[in-house]
Structure 1
């Protein structure tokens, strides 16, 4: 049997309990309310499958642990739930978990690598279509070598960033 959990303010809980007492208790009243809502059919155009998580995980932490968790999450720019999910997913799937600022930085690196790739393609096309001799060819080859060095530097930075992300979410 599935279980539903609802969080209510104390005043609303007291009022619901008073109403439920005359109808057989909380469970019976909730079940009848849910059955009534479930029997109300939706128009065909609105009927669509409900996607939901298969399970919910709840944690109870001490005040000190919760404070540390909230501090870590805030430093990463995440809510405590987002941070906890990222930690679990990192351990389960062994993949980087990017914060919003990290994702933006990686998009910037990708954009720069594309720019360099376009420049290299233009140089290669020019080398293939023109007969270059002497200093002109030497200059083009130097520029190609500089682009290759730049790409290697960006790729090294990208590797370091991914490793830093993996290290952050790993055991300390």
Structure 2
């Protein structure tokens, strides 16, 4: 004989047990409900799952492991589900998984780099349209060099952040 196992909320189990009490008990009542359902006409086949839909994955962890998972997720400001999904996506997609604060930081770096790029374009345009001599040209060249240093520093920080993110989510191999 086959066996089915269900996980139900306690309230639903109490209500079902109350309904089954006068009908021969939990197993007999459930068997009768299933036999009645099996006599009904079969529903139309379900269409294939459209792209973009999600599936559900359920994990059972020992209490100690679950506590460690919750603590690790809390460090990043994530729920245990969000942390688990990020870990799985990192391994499957081999891309960084950003927490909300990290995403905001990366957006800010992007904004700063755009600002610097606009300034460099303005300086280059001015240098192309004007004949600059002596001190004025030296100041503009120095400004460009400073912007170059600033961009390199931002890119180094960005690279370090991505490497740190990838290292966090990797398995260490």
Counterpart in 2 of 1:159? 159
* 1:100 has 2:100 as partner: yes
What's 1:71 paired with?
71
Over residues 21-64 of structure 1, what are the superposed CA-to-partner deviations in whole Å (9 max), with x where a residue is unaligned?
859527639958xx9xx89xxxxxxxxx89632x3221111111
Q: Is 1:25–2:30 an aligned residue pair?
A: yes
Q: How many matched pairs?
A: 154
Cα 1:72–1:147 shift into 2, 3 Å = same
| Aligned counterpart, 1:42 | none
Q: Report 1:132-143 matches (<5 A).
A: 132-143=132-143
TM-score norm. by structure 1 comes to 0.78
Is 1:20–1:29's contact at 8 Å kept on the other side of the alignment?
no
SS in 1 for 2:78: coil
> Could you tell me whether the CA contact under 8 Å between 1:116 and 1:147 is conserved in 2?
yes
The residue that corresponds to 2:47 in the other structure is none
Secondary structure in 2 aligned to 1:119? Answer: helix
3-state secondary structure, aligned to 1:25? helix
Q: Runs ≥4 in structure 1, deviation > 4 angstroms?
A: 20-24, 29-32
Per the alignment, residue 168 of structure 2 pairs with: 168
Q: Is contact 1:113-1:151 (8 Å) kept?
A: yes
Distance across 2 between alignment mates of 1:169 and 1:59: 19
TM-score (norm 2): 0.77
**Are 2:87 and 1:87 equivalent residues in the alignment?**
yes
Structure with bigger gyration radius? 2
> How far apart, in 2, do the equivalents of 1:62 and 1:150 lie?
49
- Structure 2 Cα separation of the partners of residues 92 and 107 of structure 1: 24
Distance 1:148 1:6 in 2: 63
Return 5+ residue gaps in structure 1 as ranges: 40-48
| 1:116 is aligned to 2:116 | yes
The equivalent residue for 1:12 is: 12
Q: 1:51 to 1:161 in 2, by over 3 A?
A: closer
